[in-house]
Amino acid sequence: MSSEAHFSNERVFIWFCSWGLLSLTCAAGRLSVSTQNLEVHKHLKRLNKPAVKSIQSPDGDIIDCVHISKQPAFDHPFLKDHKIQMNPSTIPDLMFGENKVSEKPKEKFNPVTQLWHQTGACSSGTIPVRRTKKEDVLRASSAKRYGKKKHRTVPLPRSADPDLANQSGHQHAIAYVEGGKFYGAKATINVWEPKVQSSNEFSLSQLWILGGAFGQDLNSIEAGWQVSPDLYGDNNTRLFTYWTSDAYQATGCYNLLCSGFIQINSQIAMGASISPVSGFHNPQYDISITIWKDLKEGHWWMQFGDGYVLGYWPSFLFSYLADSASIVEWGGEVVNMEEDGHHTTTQMGSGQFPDAGFSKASYFRNIQVVDSSNNLKEPKGLNTFTEKSNCYDVEVGKNDDWGHYFYYGGPGRNPNCQ
Could you give the angle at the alpha carbon of 228 between the alpha carbons of 222 and 234, nearest 5°? 140
Residue 273 and residue 183 in one domain: yes
In a domain, 97, yes or no: yes
Whether the pLDDT of residue 6 is over 50: the answer is no
Whether the pLDDT of residue 207 is over 60: the answer is yes
- The reported pLDDT for the residue numbered 337 is 79
Q: 294 falls in which pLDDT band (50, 70, 90)?
A: very high
Residue 277 and residue 345 in one domain: yes
Catalytic residue positions, numbered: 222, 333
Residue 225 and residue 367 in one domain: yes
- The reported pLDDT for the residue numbered 103 is 41
Work out the number of other CB atoms within 10 angstroms of the CB of residue 61.
Answer: 23
Residue 150 and residue 15 in one domain: no
In a domain, 36, yes or no: yes
In a domain, 208, yes or no: yes
Whether the pLDDT of residue 101 is over 90: the answer is no
Residues forming a β-bridge with 308: 304
In a domain, 130, yes or no: no
In a domain, 13, yes or no: yes
In a domain, 134, yes or no: no
Whether the pLDDT of residue 185 is over 50: the answer is yes
What average pLDDT does the segment 375-393 reach? Answer: 95
**Dihedral angle at the C-alpha atoms of 296, 299, 305, 306, nearest 10 degrees?**
-10
Residue 219 and residue 301 in one domain: yes
- Which amino acid, residue 361? A
Domain tally for the chain? Answer: 2
- The reported pLDDT for the residue numbered 188 is 97
- The reported pLDDT for the residue numbered 151 is 62
Could you give the angle at the alpha carbon of 19 between the alpha carbons of 17 and 25, nearest 5°? 30
User: What region does 182 belong to: left with phi over 0, alpha with psi -120 to 50, or beta?
Assistant: beta
282: domain CATH number? 2.60.120
Give me the chain's average pLDDT, please: 87
What average pLDDT does the segment 175-184 reach? Answer: 95
Burial of 153 (0-12, 13-18, 19+ CB in 10 A): buried
- The reported pLDDT for the residue numbered 174 is 97
Residue 37 and residue 101 in one domain: no
Q: CA nearest 171: which of 210, 143, 141, 197?
A: 197
In a domain, 241, yes or no: yes
What average pLDDT does the segment 75-92 reach? Answer: 91
Residue 29 and residue 89 in one domain: no
> Domain residues for 375?
83-114+146-409
Residue 266 and residue 322 in one domain: yes
Q: Which of 110-119, 160-169, 359-368 reaches the highest mean pLDDT?
A: 359-368
Q: 54 falls in which pLDDT band (50, 70, 90)?
A: very high
Q: Are 352 and 411 in contact (CB under 8 A)?
A: yes
Residues 234 and 109: their CA atoms lie apart, in Å, by: 27
- Which amino acid, residue 159? S
Residue 270 and residue 357 in one domain: yes
Q: CA nearest 226: which of 244, 210, 214, 238?
A: 238
Whether the pLDDT of residue 351 is over 80: the answer is yes
What average pLDDT does the segment 128-147 reach? Answer: 93
Residue 39 and residue 150 in one domain: no
Length of the chain: 418
Q: 317 falls in which pLDDT band (50, 70, 90)?
A: very high
What average pLDDT does the segment 290-311 reach? Answer: 94
Q: 213 falls in which pLDDT band (50, 70, 90)?
A: confident
What average pLDDT does the segment 211-218 reach? Answer: 83
> What distances in angstroms separate CA 356 from CA 85, 360, 361, one per listed residue?
44, 6, 5
Residue 251 and residue 376 in one domain: yes
In a domain, 73, yes or no: no
> What whole-number percentage of the chain has pLDDT above 90?
71
pLDDT digits (tens, 9 = 90+) for 394-416: 999 999 999 999 999 999 999 99
Residue 214 and residue 290 in one domain: yes
Work out the number of other CB atoms within 10 angstroms of the CB of residue 375.
Answer: 16
What average pLDDT does the segment 60-75 reach? Answer: 96
